[in-house]
Chains A and B, each alone.
Chain A
């Protein structure tokens, strides 16, 4: 029961979905690591998995270069989420980072909004590598909004499901499931290596129902900041009446386990 007009997280929290940097169509509300840390502190978020937003459409390779300036000196609070695309140079960059011990997870660019079909014959090389290395990959379900706020193409969920079926050992975190996706979340979770970021999943009592059916170990707190505010979903998860172990798992434990290579 929450009865206060203010809120701060009651368990350790690692935000599993934070973008940094401006995009070509939308400046971010923050412009520095210190500003991001201040926002995290305001809500009681201790650490964050961060990617550079320019990797969604411009270039995963450039985004990973831009991410460096956010990580420097903040390795204790920011965990890099390297962006990935289908081009050979992207895989080469990730292999190099992996060899240096820096890759615990990656995030695919927005294939739908980039006009690239998310299909095996385009992405097979990087998918083979991710599956072989057992590196978890974040894949966006969410709709993309351009500068005019009209909706652009999503990555079709059928393409995502076909990929997951073709790579049964791939560890995937689905990002940005919305009420429009609520028909798909359960079928995705029936696949044992799939996890769901909860940043937009707010249908009435839907998270409780997922926990009842699948347990708490496949759900991750992510804010989708700066596209969405950092606090509301964290507040929401705290009002769901979960026992502390469940809350801790969703807010940080499940992510830490995934990043260390452990699955549920």
Chain B
């Protein structure tokens, strides 16, 4: 808890990435030291989804008070997408979906992704996308999806990351009420949190870290040291995530 607010990190990867490594033993002291209560986790490395989602579900089962699991599937193996989502969401109890276009190089609004969106829209789930300059990841492609699949929530991971893509993410968020902006980024540009809150509204911004590449405490510092109101910080740090994930 920080300032009476439950803090939820909306972006985390279990296991190893480069020589970064996230295990409960490494993560929980960092969370405890800074007042972060829970972490969203997903594994994006297995295109069939099954192994990824089992890894995540196992961690959630072992630490239900600390982890919130998201399911992962990939259009690289299109026939597996919906069956695996049914298994992971309906069976394992994972709460939302993470998608990673740079591995596919196909933009969000290509029909190859639509079975996933139809699944999410039916259940009114959140879908977290990687957004940035990488192939397939430009946030402008969220607009058509947000309009067509209006019952699901779309979260722009990294909020586009660099300024030109952030501009696109903000424009889509302003135009569509079911679009949210998640904050983790290696850029840590001055004024970025203030910009997101001012233009999209504090109720549309979600704190995330990208742990273990980035320690949740440094990314938390972006929110804590931002020049926004305490009430806005509470929404960004956890209030919006609780509402979005129906916690």
Q: Which residues from chain A sit less than 8 Å from chain B, CB to CB? A: 1-7, 29, 42-43, 145, 148-150, 178-180, 182-183, 200, 202-206, 225-236, 239-241
Contact = CB atoms under 8 A, between A and B. Distances in A.
B214 A3 contact: no
A5 B190 contact: no
Contacts of B162: 145, 149
A5 B224 contact: yes
Contacts of B91: none
13 contacts: A3-B3, A179-B186, A179-B213, A179-B214, A183-B19, A202-B219, A203-B20, A203-B214, A204-B213, A206-B215, A228-B187, A232-B221, A233-B221
Contacts of B163: 149
Contact of A149 (B27, B133, B213, B219): B133
Nearest to A178: B186
A3 B35 contact: yes
A202 B3 contact: no
B221 A235 contact: yes
B18 A180 contact: yes
Given A7-B221, A229-B191, A235-B225, A2 B35 contact: yes
B106 interface: no
B33 A232 contact: no
Interface in B109-125: none
Contacts of B187: 228
A205 B26 contact: yes
A7 B226 CA distance: 10
Contact of A5 (B18, B27, B230): B230
Contacts of A4: 2-3, 224
B170 to A, nearest CB: 16
Interface size band for B:
35 or more
B214 A1 contact: no
A178 B188 CA distance: 12
B35 A204 contact: no
Contact of B225 (A43, A178, A241): A43
A149 B21 CA distance: 28
Contacts of A200: 186
B225 A204 contact: no
Contacts of A205: 26, 29-30, 215
Given A203-B212, A228-B187, A228-B190, A233 B218 contact: yes
Query: What are the 8 A-B residue pairs with the smallest beta carbon separation, nearest first?
Result: A231-B225, A235-B221, A232-B221, A204-B212, A5-B3, A236-B218, A202-B218, A149-B162
A239 B34 contact: yes
B211 A204 contact: yes
B230 to A, nearest CB: 5
Given A202-B218, A204-B211, A233-B221, 19 more contacts: A3-B35, A5-B3, A5-B233, A5-B234, A29-B191, A149-B162, A149-B165, A182-B19, A203-B20, A203-B214, A204-B21, A204-B22, A204-B27, A204-B213, A229-B191, A230-B190, A232-B222, A236-B217, A239-B30
A57 B54 CA distance: 49
B164 interface: yes
B22 to A, nearest CB: 6
Nearest to B17: A179
A7 B212 contact: no
- In this complex, which of B20, B133, B162, B191 has the most chain A Cβ atoms within 10 angstroms of its Cβ? B20
Interface in B1-18: 1-3, 5, 18
